Amino acid sequence: MKILQLLPIAFPWIVLSASCLALLHPPFFTWFSGNLITLGLGGIMLGMGLTLELKDFKQVTKTPSWILTGFLLQFTLMPFFGWLLGILFELPPFFAVGLILVSCCPGGTASNVIVFLSRSNLALSVSMTAISTIGAIVLTPLLTSGLSGNEIDVDAMGLFNSTLKVVLIPVLLGVFLNTRLPKYAPKIRLYSPAFAVILITLIVASIIGQGKEIILNSGFALILAIMTLHLVGFLTGYIFSKLILKDEAVSRTISIEVGMQNSGLGVVLAKENFINPAVAIPAAISSLVHSLYGSIFVALFKMKSDE
């Protein structure tokens, strides 16, 4: 019982330790792949949904400026910095294109986990992830081709189905159960953060294990560029939204949404649309970097919330 309650606090160290183990011996975690990742993300979102009520989403619709601010920052700041850092770090063309691609991706479900654990605005986070994913159908290929000069096709129906399957349906089911089973939902909710930590750790470590060779051979400049990209995303997302909206919880949420990209989508798009497999490398490394940053921000934001 007590161990489960302590897991969210130790999230940064758990993710880092599992990632190191995945690099040392990938089979420790690569078994958690394919449909298990989809189910794991769905389970995380279901647990989050159990913490929400319909009134939470009604509040979000009353403040469209929150969604609009986050959406604009997501698809302006990150693509710009992705393009700029490729130049500043003098990355080879295939790495530079990969960095631009991942910076143009929408927010991923991992951001919802981080918002959940950091006690920020989960309803806003889920809404932003869904809306940015739908917007990515047009904006991701448009921005990527515009900034890199390479055409890229996005599977619109695949994106839509993924959003339904992994985000919207589990969350709505959780909200429904929370409303219909008020006696049982709080008991399940008590352990949701711990299981979220376990599942997101398995997912991140699995991705790292599968991309071991790519990551180890990718070069220091690329890793530093990706670390800079996500750090700048977190910081500028927070600063701009705080200046514009003047709401602490909302600013933390937008910071996380802007700083964390759907790196898994970036890997898939790179593999399907570019001949050179190295274009997928930045997205593979990005999954670890933004998860580690996110886990650190969980600790910082929770400390701020407690204060």
Please, are residues 183 and 177 in contact by the beta-carbon 8 Å criterion?
no
Query: Which residue is it, tokens 């509040």?
Result: 59
Residue 11 domain-assigned?
no
Residue 14 domain-assigned?
no
**pLDDT score of 152:** 56
Share of the chain above pLDDT 90, in %: 18
pTM of the prediction? 0.78
Q: Which two tokens stand for residue 266?
A: 């970036």
Q: Which of 213, 235, 226, 237 is nearest to 266 (CA)?
A: 226
Residue 181 domain-assigned?
yes
Q: Which of 201, 202, 229 is nearest to 286 (CA)?
A: 229
Q: Environment class of residue 10 by beta-carbon count within 10 Å: exposed (0-12), middle (13-18) or buried (19+)?
A: middle
Range picked from 17-31, 136-150, 287-301 for highest mean pLDDT: 17-31
Count up the domains in the chain and report the number.
1
Question: Per residue in 225-245, pLDDT tens?
Answer: 999 999 999 999 999 999 998
Range picked from 3-7, 10-14, 186-190, 293-297 for highest mean pLDDT: 293-297
Residue 28 domain-assigned?
no
pLDDT average, residue stretch 173-200: 78
Question: Per residue in 79-120, pLDDT tens?
Answer: 999 999 999 998 888 888 889 989 988 887 778 788 887 778
Between 131 and 229, the higher pLDDT residue: 229
Residue 27 domain-assigned?
no
Rg of the chain's alpha carbons, rounded to an integer?
18
End-to-end CA distance of the chain: 25
pLDDT over 60 at 153, yes or no:
no
Q: Which of 202, 106, 185, 97 is nearest to 144 (CA)?
A: 97
Residue 126 domain-assigned?
yes
Domain residues for 234?
Answer: 33-306
Range picked from 184-188, 222-226, 247-251 for highest mean pLDDT: 222-226
Query: What does the H/E/C string look like for 81-98?
Result: HHHHHHHHCCCCHHHHHH
**pLDDT score of 41:** 77
173: domain CATH number is 1.20.1530.20
**pLDDT score of 154:** 54
Residue 15 domain-assigned?
no
- Looking at every residue in the chain, the average pLDDT score rounds to 81
Q: Where are the alpha helices (DSSP H) in the chain?
A: 2-6, 11-24, 27-30, 35-49, 54-61, 64-74, 77-88, 93-103, 109-117, 122-148, 156-162, 169-180, 185-189, 192-210, 212-216, 220-245, 248-259, 263-273, 281-306
Residue 294 domain-assigned?
yes
Sign, CA torsion 97/99/102/107? negative
Beta carbons within 8 Å of 82's beta carbon, 6+ residues apart: 99, 100, 101, 102, 103, 104, 147, 229
